[in-house]
Amino acid sequence: MFPKSNKISLFLISFLAVVGLFAFNPSFTKAASGMPVVAVSDPGFAAQYISQTISDPIKIEVGSTVTVDVKFKNVGTKNWEANNRNFLSAFTMEPRYHISVFATSNWIDKIETAKMSPSVVKPGEYGTLTVQLKAPEKVGTYTEKFWLASQNHSWVKGGYFYFIINVVAKSTVTPTTPAVTAPVTVTPSSNTSDTSTTVSAYKAKKFFSNVKDIKASGASQVKVILGLQNLGTATWQKYSFVANSPLSLANSADLSFADSSWQNSNTIFEKPQAVAQWSTTRDEFNIVTPAKKGSYTLTLKVKADNQEINDLEINIPVEVTSDASSYVPPFFNNSNNNVNTIVEEIPRLSEEPKIRVGVWQNPTDQVQFQSADDDYVVYSGDVLQGVLAKNTLATLYYENGIYNFASTNLNFSSSDYIRLAPSSNMHAVFTLLNYNRAVSWKGPVNFNKYRGVMELRKINSGTDVYVIEEVLMEDYVAGIAETSNAGPIEYIKALLTAARTYAYYVANYTSKHDARNFDVVAHTGDQLYLGYASEVLMPNVVAAQRATRGYMATYDNNYIITPYYSTSDGRTRSWAEVWGGSNRPWLVSVPAIYDKRDGKAMAGHGVGMSARDAAYMADEGGKNWQEILKYYYTGVNVNLIYQ
- The pLDDT score that the predictor gives to residue 197 is 31
Contacts 24+ apart (CB under 8 A), 592-595: 592/568, 593/617, 593/621, 594/620, 594/621, 595/567, 595/568, 595/569, 595/570
Residue 523 CA to residue 18 CA, distance in Å, equals: 9
Cα first-last separation, the chain: 31
H or E element: which one contains 224?
strand 221-230
Topology annotation, domain 47-168: Immunoglobulin-like (2.60.40)
Strands annotated E in 291-348: 294-304, 307-320, 332-334, 340-342
Buried b (16+ CB within 10 A) or exposed e, 184-221: eeeeeeeeeeeeeeeeeebbbeeebeeeeebebbbbbb
Say if 47-168 and 204-342 have the same CATH topology.
yes
**CATH T-level topology, domain 204-342:** Immunoglobulin-like (2.60.40)
* Res 376: pLDDT: 97
Question: 3-state secondary structure string, 506-524?
Answer: HHHHCCCCHHHCCCEECCC
Q: Write the CA distances from 47 to 127, 138, 564, integer angstroms.
A: 9, 33, 42
Strand 280-288 versus strand 294-304 pairing type:
unpaired
Strand ranges inside 63-191, DSSP E: 65-74, 80-81, 88-93, 116-117, 120-121, 126-134, 140-150, 154-168, 185-186
Q: How many residues does the chain have?
A: 643
Consecutive 10-residue runs of the chain (643 residues): their mean pLDDT? 42 42 33 62 90 89 91 93 88 85 88 91 93 92 92 87 91 45 34 38 83 87 86 87 65 66 84 80 86 88 89 89 74 42 66 95 92 95 95 96 96 97 94 92 90 95 92 96 90 96 94 91 94 93 93 94 96 96 94 95 96 94 93 95 92
Q: Locate the domains of the chain by residue range.
A: 4-27+483-640, 47-168, 204-342
- Residue pair 41/427 in contact by the 8 Å Cβ criterion: no
Whether 427 contacts 147, CB under 8 Å: no
pLDDT confidence of residue 431: 97
